[in-house]
Chain A
Amino acid sequence: MRAIGIVLAGGNNHRMQALSQKRAICAMPVAGSYRSIDFTLSNMSNSHIQKVAVLTQYNSRSLNEHLNSSKWWDFGRKQGGLSVLTPTVTADNSNWYRGTADAIYQNLSFLKNSHEPYVIIASGDGIYKMDYNKVLEYHIDKKADITVVCRDMEPGTDIERFGTIRMDEEFRITEFEEKPLQAKSNTISCGIYVVRRRLLIEMIEKCAEEDRYDFVRDILIRYKDLKRIYGYKITDYWRNIASVEDYFKTNMDFLRPEVRDYFFRQYPDIYSKVEDLPPAKYNPGARVRNSLVSSGCIVNGVVENSVIFKKVYIGNNCVIKNSIILNDVYIGDNTYIENCIVESRDTIRANSSYVGEDGQIRIVVEKNERYTM
């Protein structure tokens, strides 16, 4: 492969509300068995990128735990491999990452010590499958300085929270607006970029000199007319986890057969850390309908239109509807849960009821009482 990878996994997002209280967005559990960063890391691995850096800062411990071994994504290599780069205090710097460009600047040696001519930069919260080689080929073909992966969003999408793009007929980007008040286009940036390594170093150093820290604002938008920046349009499934609503919808998407087929059955696979959990177990009284259940679960109750993550215990006579139950939750007998996201490691006492009213998603955060009871 002619490229190295950088995964931007540092930010928080207040739209995730209580869900990002204890974890990085990129460590959010997705689709029952995965975490959001698994998709980008698997794409990197499946594209034969051998050297990948994950830049992380906010609640980085959660992500570090997930990335404690690189072998699950096949990055356990002598040549290259996976590095997790958190901010460090050095002789010249004692700042946190002040933005995406600053995060790269603070780890510029990673770029400088590599020899691959290109860099793939991807945010770690995207749920998608992609062969980055195809984007790279396009990039070379277009003689582009920077290529931005973009996608036309369906009507009704909250376009204003993305970066929007307008392109000419050659797909050269003519306009790029970050989180516009009023979007002029429904083409958005997926936060995946291809750029020549030397050019990136040059631009990042210039940025730092001028005390600019953001990759989108200070590089993409600022250099828009100066450099040849092209859009690479995708039509495949792509979502990012940026708000509670997105998160809920993305998980529920996996109840659709075509989405499951695309991610779970079509080659190549998405990989995740193996947790050695036993098969899921269904006791008398279990009724699971149109739902996903992960390994290590024990189900005694009714589950409908829901996504149940790993190692969840569902007691007798429980009813779980239209909800997401995250990892390692214990649900006591006779509990009713509807339109909720139940935070991981919660202990839900028997006979409780949690309902998200008026179609709103309710986030349930309870103490883990199992080890203290």
Chain B
Amino acid sequence: MIKKEMIAMLLAGGQGSRLGVLTSKVAKPAVAFGGKYRIIDFPLSNCINSGVDTVGVLTQYQPLRLNTHIGIGIPWDLDRNIGGVTVLPPYEKSKNSEWYTGTANAIYQNIEYMETFNPEYILILSGDHIYKMDYEVMLDFHKANGAECTIAVMPVPWEEASRFGIMIADENRKITEFEEKPANPRSNLASMGIYIFNWKTLKEALIAMADQPALDFGKHIIPYCHEKGAPMYAYEFNGYWKDVGTLSSYWEANMELIDIVPEFNLYEEYWKIYTRSEIQPPQYFAENSITERCIIGEGSEIYGEVYNSVIGCGVIIGKGTVVRDSIIMNKTVIGDGCEINKAIIAEDVVIGSNVKLGVGEEAENDTAPHIYNHGLVTIGEKSVIPDGVSVGKNSVISGQTEAADYENNYLASGKTLIKAGEV
């Protein structure tokens, strides 16, 4: 009989709407990060590096990019005869067919998948954090404490604690209480959304709570287990962990990679991050190019100047173009003589020549100021920007725009230009 000690369930179905146009066509876990990676590469690589070789990936929102990226799991060595990676979308049932209505509901709908492997423990992960973590150490902690549920936590600054789910633990790290986004936090240990459950405990809880609408781990399953008196422990993690849920945190996390010795070091030998690499050639730098404080992916060609930026694979940056403080994703082409300041440019974008991004004074975004802020210019994937236009700060562009879409070749700060692209 198949027996896996611990299997992982990776929640990758969310839209991540605070990433704006970056997730209009792809799920958040499939968004590019750090030049050549996608966000989901981090938990997937952690799994294989921790010896977890069976991973169910729960998908729902815009799964195409995610599916092609994961494939049969070759980049992560998750192509296995038994186990490996399995993509688990919602499916039709003879009755009560529904979408995944909450994090725990998604797991509930895949009880059969987990049962196949006869596991002792289930590791619940989310596909939207940047970190390196050895889940095996967490499992050892779980076992040593005789826990039925272990929640990974990390200390956050006290003033930010009210934004998180906060765990209150005794001196043995046993969780005594927890609070969801408390106004006056009594602890600064924030839940990272990483759980290890005994399979029996989890299964019992999922079935008992099955009828709860929008069944959620933080809101329903954890409180249920706590009420039942299951021993729950907080596993403190002190490494680098970054939520990249907003454009500004996403931008910052990318920028941290270009420090001389970054806190999150991709160059360590013993904990590699794996990804699907479609583009393999080396990078080319032309005679007059300058690249300083940046990381650049395979096959990119730089004819201009790049400072403080994260550049993906297969990107072309034209002559005389100056890129500063920006993120440019795979296969984007930028023409000659452009000025790109503090922009996030998604994949397959074509930018003409003499385009200026991020000019002028800041102004609040007119449609979604909670998404588009911090002076960033955000360009959605497969967008086209014509020659000679200037674009202000806190602005967003998506779709195949033409000169006629810009007034006097100018899009003012805070403006939104979203054009339905041709399909």
Contact = CB atoms under 8 A, between A and B. Distances in A.
Interface stretch (B126-134, B203-211, B273-281, B348-356): B273-281
Given A264-B299, A276-B272, A289-B289, A294 B282 contact: yes
Contact of A279 (B36, B284, B301): B36
Interface string B285-307: 11111111111111101000010
B296 A276 contact: no
Contacts of B420: none
B321 to A, nearest CB: 16
B38 to A, nearest CB: 13
Nearest to B281: A264
Interface in B29-51: 34-36
Contact of A32 (B267, B281, B297): B281
B168 interface: no
Given A276-B275, A283-B293, A298 B267 contact: yes
B273 A276 contact: yes
Contact of B292 (A33, A279, A280, A282): A282
B284 A292 contact: yes
Contacts of A211: none
A260 B273 CA distance: 28
B74 interface: yes
Interface in B343-364: none
Contacts of B281: 31-33, 260, 263-264
Nearest to A71: B74
A303 B291 CA distance: 11
A71 B79 CA distance: 12
Residue among A263, A278, A292, A309 with max Cβ neighbours from chain B (10 Å): A278
B130 to A, nearest CB: 13
Contacts, number: 106
B282 A292 contact: yes
B282 A290 contact: no
B273 A282 contact: no
Given A274-B277, A276-B275, A287 B290 contact: yes
A279 B282 contact: no
A269 interface: yes
B285 A289 contact: yes
A136 B282 CA distance: 32
A150 interface: no
Contacts of A283: 260, 292-293
Interface residues of A, number: 40
Contacts of B295: 278-282
Contacts of B299: 264
Residue among B35, B273, B306 with max Cβ neighbours from chain A (10 Å): B35
Interface in A343-371: none
B187 interface: no
A254 B249 CA distance: 39
A31 B291 contact: no
A274 B75 CA distance: 8
A279 B274 contact: no
A279 B35 contact: yes
A207 interface: no
A271 B74 CA distance: 15
Interface in A278-302: 278-296, 298
Interface string A309-334: 10000000000000000000000000
B288 A32 contact: no
A4 interface: no
Interface in B248-282: 258, 260, 266-267, 272-275, 277, 280-282
List 9 tightest A-B contacts by C-beta distance, closest first.
A32-B282, A279-B35, A278-B266, A264-B281, A288-B285, A292-B282, A294-B282, A282-B291, A279-B295
Given A283-B292, A289-B287, 16 more contacts: A260-B281, A264-B281, A271-B280, A272-B280, A274-B75, A279-B35, A279-B266, A279-B297, A281-B258, A282-B296, A283-B260, A288-B285, A290-B287, A292-B283, A295-B282, A295-B298
23 contacts: A31-B282, A32-B281, A33-B282, A33-B298, A71-B74, A254-B282, A264-B281, A278-B35, A279-B298, A281-B267, A282-B293, A282-B295, A284-B292, A284-B293, A286-B291, A287-B290, A288-B291, A292-B284, A293-B283, A293-B296, A295-B282, A296-B267, A298-B267
